[in-house]
Amino acid sequence: MITEDQTNQAVAEILSSYKKEKKNLIPLLQEVQTKLGYLPKKTMQEIADFLEMPRVEVWGVATFYNQFRFVPLGKYHTMVCMGTACHLAGGRLILEALERELDIKVGETAEDGNFSLERVACIGCCMLAPVIVIKDKINPKMTPFKVEEVLASYKQDIQKGKS
């Protein structure tokens, strides 16, 4: 876990590397999210003050784009591709299987912080449809059955980490 001091320091460092120009709002939000994993409310306020723009405008931009998140992601962030090819190859079944197996809904992070689930539009791997991405690793040609298998290996890793 990152402490509050570390968060403050990281945000201060990022802010100091940007000019106070409005066009830097999205790059700033992106860099903060890359660093912290999500956009804390306090940080968005700091960005607004830094760029000397209304806080509501920063909130408006951040909530407009699909990329930005306002809750921390799970350790194993899982993205389900919902592009056309994946949909036609049964993407909805994969999504349902993930929700069932992880016991969370799309957009949520599990209480223990291990998994979070998100749907994304095409990631451009249509020939391997349907695909899911777990912690940046692309898993091709999924079936509901394979979802169980893939998740089992991650769950095993989590168990090992505990013991």
Partner 1 sequence: MVNVTFEEINNRAKSEWEALQKGSYILVGTATCGRAAGALDVVDAFNKELTRQGLEVPIIQVGCTGLCYADPLVVISKAGSLRVVYANVTPETVHRLVEGYVAGDDPCLELALGTLEGGDGEAVYIPELPRFEHELRLILRRCGYIDPENINHYIANGGYSGLEKALKVSPEEIVGELKKSGLRGRGGAGFPTHRKWELCRKAKSTPKYVICNADEGDPGAFMDRVVLESDPHQVIEGMIIAGHAIGAEQGYIYVRAEYPLAIERIQIALKQAKELGFLGDNILGGDFGFHIEIAAGAGAFVSGEETALLAAVEGRMSTPRPRPPYPAESGLWNKPTLLNNVKTFAYVPLIIERGAGWFASIGTEGSKGTAVFTLAGKVADSGLAEVPMGTTLRELIYDIGGGIAKDKQFKAVQIGGPSGGCLPETLLDIPIDYDSLRETGSMMGSGGMIVMDEDNCIVDAARFFLDFSTKESCGKCTMCRLGTLQMLNILEDITAGRGKIEDIDLLLALAEDVKIGSLCGLGKTAPNPVLTTLHYFRDEYEAHILEKRCPARVCPELTVYYILPDKCDRACEHCVLTCPTEAIKGDKGEVKVIDQEKCSKCGTCLEVCPPEYNAVVKLSPVSLLPSSNLSGKGGGK
Continuous H helices in 4-143:
4-16, 25-36, 41-51, 55-64, 84-88, 91-102
Smallest distance, Å, CB 142 to partner 1? Answer: 11
Measured from the CB atom, the residue of 1 and 127 that comes closer to partner 1 is: 127
User: Which one of 40, 74, 83, 130 is in contact with partner 1 (CB under 8 A)?
Assistant: 83
Do the beta carbons of residue 77 and residue 132 sit within 8 Å? no
Q: Which residues pair with 78 in a beta bridge?
A: 117, 134
Q: Is 26 in the site for partner 1 (CB under 8 A)?
A: yes
- The C-alpha atoms of residue 35 and residue 53 are separated, in whole angstroms, by 23
Q: Is 106 in the site for partner 1 (CB under 8 A)?
A: no
User: Which one of 3, 19, 56, 145 is in contact with partner 1 (CB under 8 A)?
Assistant: 145
**Residue in the block written with tokens 């223990």:** 112
Q: Is 138 in the site for partner 1 (CB under 8 A)?
A: yes
- The C-alpha atoms of residue 79 and residue 119 are separated, in whole angstroms, by 5
Binding site for partner 1 (CB under 8 A): 21-27, 29-30, 60-61, 64-68, 82-85, 87-90, 93, 96-97, 100-101, 120-129, 131, 138, 140, 143-145, 148
